[in-house]
């Protein structure tokens, strides 16, 4: 395996998205990630479709797009965890692994002797990360959780969406399972930090990671806005709460996302729009003034944008170094010359479909380049291979 983690083995006992996303990050970095699944069923997301990947004849397979998005680079083994022989297999894999990822309900794996203490007994250096909705402690520790409800409970939906009283007003979830993804990112960061510490101390680690904690953490500037001002942030549509002008503006032939980040950029915007007097206007000359006087500035900007072509305006703003963009659809993202140049979309060989598209890791290493040559595995595809590595015979 290529990549900076090519000497690391990960035992992935997780399913759905948050922890599997962490596993895919580690696999992209070169780790040997062994995904343990239920015989006959596998990861829940295998059935979360349509759409499903089609085989060479055009017939739908059992590989849902959702599953294909978070399991690249792994090997799949099917194991019955509630059978003693299955538990022995997991312990044998843990003895050879560096990292364990799991997202079972609190206490579930302890019944099988596969919790941290159980696997620590066979591998004292193991780094074990438990991902749950609410963590291993607290009044909701045993409750199930999904991304949508955590976006709601964690405050994200209260600041996402158009303002009340406006067309389309009301709370909205983010268009991707952002809490799952960020939880996966934190899990990957956490296990790698523990791995770095283990090289000094020789000790393993247990990491208790909760989706609600992650959502609270990534409230970031919005949480700090409230902590400093005492004013609860509200939904503002696409408008930025601290920097202006940053919003979506309609033109004659589409929309422009404008992302002015400093006073110099605002000055160049004002000149392009034919209003150089805005530069010296005390109401708009500085960002704090523009935030305070947003109700005055916004309609003036909208009037100017509405009379211009999106294509021409973006060209002029780009040339002047004023950050802006069209609002691309998902297909348009992968038609962008910059995205194509960076080779973010690849096609990997697949045993049923011939090939499967994958949006790959954005990490580019100079000395340890990443390789994307292992597609998301079929259910139990590597069971025999992995068992042979454990020294088991076909009869075993």
Which of 300, 328, 356 is at the close of a domain?
328
Tell me, yes or no, whether 323 and 197 share the same domain.
no
Which of 282, 301, 328 is at the close of a domain?
328
Tell me, yes or no, whether 163 and 265 share the same domain.
no
Tell me, yes or no, whether 121 and 258 share the same domain.
no
- Is residue 257 scored above 70 in pLDDT? yes
Q: Find, among 136, 266, 282, 284, the residue nearest to 210 by Cα.
A: 136
Q: Average pLDDT in the 44-51 region? A: 96
Rounded Cα gap, residues 209 and 198, in angstroms? 19
In a domain, 236, yes or no: no
Which of 283, 305, 328 is at the close of a domain?
328
Structural domains counted in the chain? 2
- Is residue 283 scored above 80 in pLDDT? yes
The pTM assigned to this predicted structure is 0.94
Indicate the average pLDDT of the chain. Answer: 96
Tell me, yes or no, whether 24 and 146 share the same domain.
yes
Strands 127-132 and 205-210: parallel
Q: Which helix H or strand E contains 26, and what residues bound it?
A: helix 18-28
In a domain, 395, yes or no: no
Q: Average pLDDT in the 259-278 region? A: 97
Tell me, yes or no, whether 114 and 212 share the same domain.
yes
Rounded Cα gap, residues 84 and 112, in angstroms? 8
Structure tokens at 307: 């009379």
Q: How far, CA to CA in Å, does 302 sit from each of 90, 279, 306?
A: 61, 17, 6
- CB count, 10 Å around CB of 152? 14
Structure tokens at 395: 């009869």
Tell me, yes or no, whether 308 and 355 share the same domain.
no
Q: Roughly how many angstroms between the first and final C-alpha of the chain, as a whole number?
A: 28
Q: Average pLDDT in the 382-389 region? A: 97
Share of the chain above pLDDT 90, in %: 96
CATH of the domain at 286: 3.30.1540.10
In a domain, 260, yes or no: yes
The SS3 of residue 142 is: coil
Tell me what pLDDT residue 249 has: 97
Q: How far, CA to CA in Å, does 55 sit from each of 151, 301, 352, 354?
A: 36, 51, 5, 7
Note whether 207 and 130 are within 8 A (CB): yes
- CB count, 10 Å around CB of 285? 16
3-state helix vs strand vs coil in the chain, percent to 5:
40, 15, 45
Rounded Cα gap, residues 181 and 190, in angstroms? 14
Tell me, yes or no, whether 182 and 291 share the same domain.
no
- Is residue 131 scored above 80 in pLDDT? yes
Note whether 137 and 49 are within 8 A (CB): no
In a domain, 263, yes or no: yes
Domain that holds residue 176: 9-217+340-389
In a domain, 71, yes or no: yes
Rounded Cα gap, residues 181 and 305, in angstroms? 35
CA triplet 105, 107, 108: central angle to 5 degrees? 60
375 by Cβ neighbours in 10 Å (0-12 / 13-18 / 19+) ranks as buried
Enumerate the active-site residues. Answer: 180
Q: How far, CA to CA in Å, does 351 sit from each of 23, 55, 61, 348, 372?
A: 21, 9, 11, 10, 15
Tell me, yes or no, whether 271 and 371 share the same domain.
no
Note whether 126 and 13 are within 8 A (CB): no
Tell me, yes or no, whether 255 and 176 share the same domain.
no
Rounded Cα gap, residues 17 and 176, in angstroms? 11
Question: What is the DSSP-derived secondary structure letter of residue 176?
Answer: S
Tell me what pLDDT residue 2 has: 87
- Is residue 299 scored above 70 in pLDDT? yes
Tell me, yes or no, whether 190 and 264 share the same domain.
no
Q: Give the pLDDT band of residue 395 (cuts 50, 70, 90).
A: confident
In a domain, 73, yes or no: yes
- Is residue 128 scored above 70 in pLDDT? yes
Tell me what pLDDT residue 1 has: 66
In a domain, 4, yes or no: no
**Per residue in 331-372, pLDDT tens?**
999 999 999 999 999 999 999 999 999 999 999 999 999 999
Rounded Cα gap, residues 199 and 326, in angstroms? 47
Tell me, yes or no, whether 311 and 377 share the same domain.
no
In a domain, 27, yes or no: yes
Tell me, yes or no, whether 197 and 307 share the same domain.
no
Q: Find, among 239, 264, 260, 258, the residue nearest to 314 by Cα.
A: 258
- Is residue 41 scored above 80 in pLDDT? yes
CATH of the domain at 211: 3.40.50.10540
Q: Give the pLDDT band of residue 143 (cuts 50, 70, 90).
A: very high
Tell me what pLDDT residue 368 has: 94
Q: Give the pLDDT band of residue 394 (cuts 50, 70, 90).
A: confident
């Amino acid at each position: 395996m290529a990549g900076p983690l090519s000497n690391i083995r990960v035992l992935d006992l997780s399913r759905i998205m948050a922890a599997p996303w962490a596993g895919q990050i580690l696999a992209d970095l070169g780790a040997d990630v062994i995904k343990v699944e239920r015989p006959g069923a596998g990861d829940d997301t295998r059935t979360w479709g349509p759409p499903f990947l089609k085989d060479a004849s055009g017939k739908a397979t059992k590989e849902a797009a959702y599953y294909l998005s978070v399991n690249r680079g792994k090997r799949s083994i099917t194991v019955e965890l509630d059978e003693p022989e299955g538990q022995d297999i997991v312990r044998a894999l843990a003895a050879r692994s560096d990292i364990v990822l799991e997202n079972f309900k609190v206490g579930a794996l302890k019944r099988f002797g596969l919790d941290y203490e159980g696997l620590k007994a066979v591998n004292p250096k193991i780094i074990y990360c438990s991902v749950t909705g609410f963590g291993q402690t607290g009044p909701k520790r045993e409750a199930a959780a999904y991304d949508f409800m955590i976006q709601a409970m964690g405050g994200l939906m209260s600041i996402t969406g158009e303002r009340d009283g406006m067309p389309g007003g009301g709370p909205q979830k983010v268009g991707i399972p952002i809490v799952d993804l960020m939880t996966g990112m934190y899990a990957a960061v956490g296990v790698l930090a523990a791995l770095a510490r283990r090289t000094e101390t020789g000790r393993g680690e247990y990491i208790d990671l909760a989706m609600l904690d992650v959502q609270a953490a990534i409230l970031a500037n919005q949480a700090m806005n409230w902590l400093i001002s005492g004013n609860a942030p509200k939904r503002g549509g696409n408008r930025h709460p601290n920097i202006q002008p940053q919003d979506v503006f309609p033109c004659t032939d589409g929309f422009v996302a404008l992302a002015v980040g400093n006073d110099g950029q605002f000055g160049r915007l004002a000149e392009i729009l034919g209003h150089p007097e805005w530069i010296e206007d005390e109401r708009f000359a500085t960002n704090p003034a523009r935030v305070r006087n947003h109700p005055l500035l916004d309609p003036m900007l909208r009037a100017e944008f509405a009379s211009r072509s999106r294509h021409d305006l973006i060209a002029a703003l780009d040339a002047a170094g004023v950050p802006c963009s069209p609002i691309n659809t998902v297909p348009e993202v992968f038609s962008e010359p910059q995205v194509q140049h960076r080779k973010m979309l690849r096609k990997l060989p697949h045993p049923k479909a011939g090939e499967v598209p994958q949006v790959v890791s954005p990490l580019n290493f100079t000395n340890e380049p990443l390789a994307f040559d292992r597609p998301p595995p079929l259910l139990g595809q590597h069971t025999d291979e992995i068992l042979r590595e454990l020294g088991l015979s076909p009869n075993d």
